Chains A and B, each alone.
Chain A
Amino acid sequence: MKSVFLKLAVGASLIASIQAQAYPVIDEAVPVGGHPIAVFRDEKNPKVFWYIPQSIEPWKRDNQHQSSLFHQGSTLSFIFRGQASVEDSMLIDVAKAIGTKPDNLMPITYDSSSNLVCQDIFVEEDRVSWKFPSMIGNYLEVVPVSIRTDNRAVVDELKYHLTHGGLACTVEVKFKGVTTGYRLKVVADFNKVYERFEAAAHAEGLWWEVDIHTMLERLRQERIITITSLEDETITQTELDKKIHAAADELLKAITTSMFNPALKLPQGNIANRGKAFSFRADYQRSQENNHVEFTLESNKVQLKSSQISLRLAVD
């Protein structure tokens, strides 16, 4: 099957520069009808999608970097030039599947690569030399691999495989994306929460941030507030505790927005290192709805994601 390589549009680079520091959201790949590329949403622009090609094929874009195979007598020399491939027609199908235009699909640039490993059962043979880099660099760069031998026993064998399907390699690539730091469901009896805060308020009805954190943790232990993971119901308690810890500030914000106002007038005394001060909202109303309130806390973080892609060492 012939591949038509994606023409690197200057426009794509321009969009990429405008999207400086924009990352794909790598929690879940976007459904693309089974096509062999992983596609992710852009963190900021809902119309933009990022894709990572899954294979590196022999270079066919132009004549500058063609793979070459020299066979003379008992000497065989093969130089592979490859490039991450994506067919124009597949991008069009993928764009249609996700309801966008092909121009909105952008290739993810690999941050790094490592562990290029190839089928090399000739490694024990005399006078067969393989040279390939451990890294492949940016997905658009040429991947130089060379094989040379003057071992008559393997020349015909190796030539056959390089011209009939090629030899297989895999390489690990890493790319940056954002992932959900946490996605938690909070269920709380707001009326009871308010009563507890009211009963334990400091003088003049004030609360300090650090004390609110302490009270919220106590309410969680008493299950007046419960927090569960929306991402994974089989998560371990240790992992869940880490996420709840990371979400502590967001939880405080959710509670204080409902029940407190920033305190305008602070009392005298030692209030250093206790954070912001809040006073109760006069308009908070106990109600049946507030007996059972649910909301979601969510946050993203940038991380490196790794993927294994294939590389086909072949003439074409």
Chain B
Amino acid sequence: MNQFNRLSSIVTAFTIWSWSAHASAPQNLPNFGEQVSVGRMQAFVSPKGLTWFLPLAMRSELSCSPGSTSRAARRSCNLRVFNNFSPNEEAALVQLERSTGTKVVALSAMDSGKVLTVGERFPTFAQGIETGEMILRTLQVNPSGPYASVLLRAQGKTISEIEEQYKSQGLGEFKSEVTMRGESVDAYLAINNAQLLRQELSQLTGRYSNLQMTQIIDRLISRLSVTAYGFQEDEKRNVLQHELRRFFQNSRHRQYEVSQTKVQHLTDTHVILDDRSAPFVAICTATLDLREGGVSQTRCEEVAQ
């Protein structure tokens, strides 16, 4: 989007009033326009304040009851899937928070505004193997217990084969498929400390020449905390200057004064431009290779409408 279009899109004046009793923090959707891998997980960096990540960092363990003297006797194995961060992944999430200046937040199955469905399954096991599955479908990391498990029960020989297979080619894949809402942000510009703007402008009660107004605006811009995404530096500055001019109005004789009505309605975070796609549904699949030492990988894609 070029500079002209961006300026045009913000020309329409607007005033935001909030009648709600509870001020709500921004709750942006995951931004699929900027996906980053954090170890085994996928994160969605958004300029709007929240970087969501999918907390699926899985590995497995196989634990089988000891063999007995009778090969025909039944034995069983518990194939457990664990979901927890490694220390490196935990550190990487902290680093991501620092480097992006956003809050890094785990998506959860309880967050129905963003997560639509969580579908998880073990592979199908051979005939003759009884299975007892237990799957949580919560997207929560759980350091103390398994995220999912399946009991496999069969004759002793079959269980021995399962143990061997787990160590070599693996027993198949455990999949966690999460459908969620997302968006793709092209450009975003917001003033994060608009209360400063409100305070400064409310004190300007005089009339100012065009030059004085320009100097006031430049001084204000230097003190603002701004989130700019998809903007070149000079582009950002031009848009900010144009936006701050909106708070001034012609009085008379080429003099400008601050419109205090507009100033009063500034909220603490003043969004100037939020250029994004319409929300869409995406599917992220975390696939765990069920073998000794196997770890999960996560891939995400937009679902065709």
Contacts and interface: CB of A to CB of B under 8 A. Distances in A.
A100 B172 CA distance: 44
A168 B146 contact: yes
Interface of A: 1, 3, 26-29, 31-36, 38, 54-55, 57, 85, 87, 117-121, 153-154, 156-157, 160-161, 164-165, 167-170, 183, 231-234, 250, 254, 287-289, 291-298, 300, 305, 307-308, 310, 312
Given A1-B144, A233-B278, A165 B136 contact: no
Given A34-B85, A294-B17, A156 B68 contact: yes
6 contacts: A34-B141, A55-B142, A117-B134, A119-B149, A165-B80, A312-B146
Contacts of B90: 34
A168 B143 contact: no
Given A161-B151, A165-B78, A310-B142, 13 more contacts: A26-B110, A31-B103, A31-B106, A57-B144, A157-B65, A157-B153, A161-B76, A164-B78, A231-B113, A234-B279, A294-B14, A297-B19, A298-B20
B14 to A, nearest CB: 5
Interface stretch (B125-133, B187-195, B199-207, B234-242): B125-133
A121 B142 contact: no
A308 B136 contact: yes
Given A119-B132, A289-B15, A298-B20, A165 B63 contact: yes
Nearest to B75: A157
Nearest to A40: B110
A87 B137 CA distance: 22
A294 B76 CA distance: 64
B18 A170 contact: no
A160 B65 contact: yes
A160 B149 contact: no
Given A119-B132, A121-B132, A312-B145, A164 B110 contact: no
B13 interface: yes
A295 B93 CA distance: 36
Contacts of B13: 288-289, 291-292
A157 B105 contact: no
Given A31-B103, A31-B104, A294-B15, A157 B144 contact: no
A307 B55 contact: no
B157 interface: no
Contacts of A157: 65, 74-76, 153
Name A's interface SS.
Answer: mixed
A181 B50 CA distance: 23
Interface string B6-21: 0000001111111111
Given A161-B65, A289-B15, A168 B149 contact: yes
Interface of B: 12-22, 24, 27, 50, 55, 61, 63, 65-66, 68, 73-76, 78, 80, 85, 90, 93, 103-106, 108, 110-111, 113, 130-138, 140-146, 149-151, 153, 181, 259, 261-262, 278-279, 281
B16 A294 contact: yes
B25 to A, nearest CB: 9
A33 B138 contact: no
A254 B18 CA distance: 10
Contacts of B103: 31
Given A297-B20, A298-B24, A34 B55 contact: yes
Contacts of A250: 19
Nearest to B68: A156
A233 B14 CA distance: 20
Given A183-B20, A298-B24, A54 B132 contact: no
A54 B134 contact: no
Contact of A160 (B66, B146, B279): B66
B143 A34 contact: no
Given A31-B103, A293-B17, A294-B15, A38 B144 contact: no
A160 B76 CA distance: 9
Nearest to B94: A33
A188 to B, nearest CB: 11
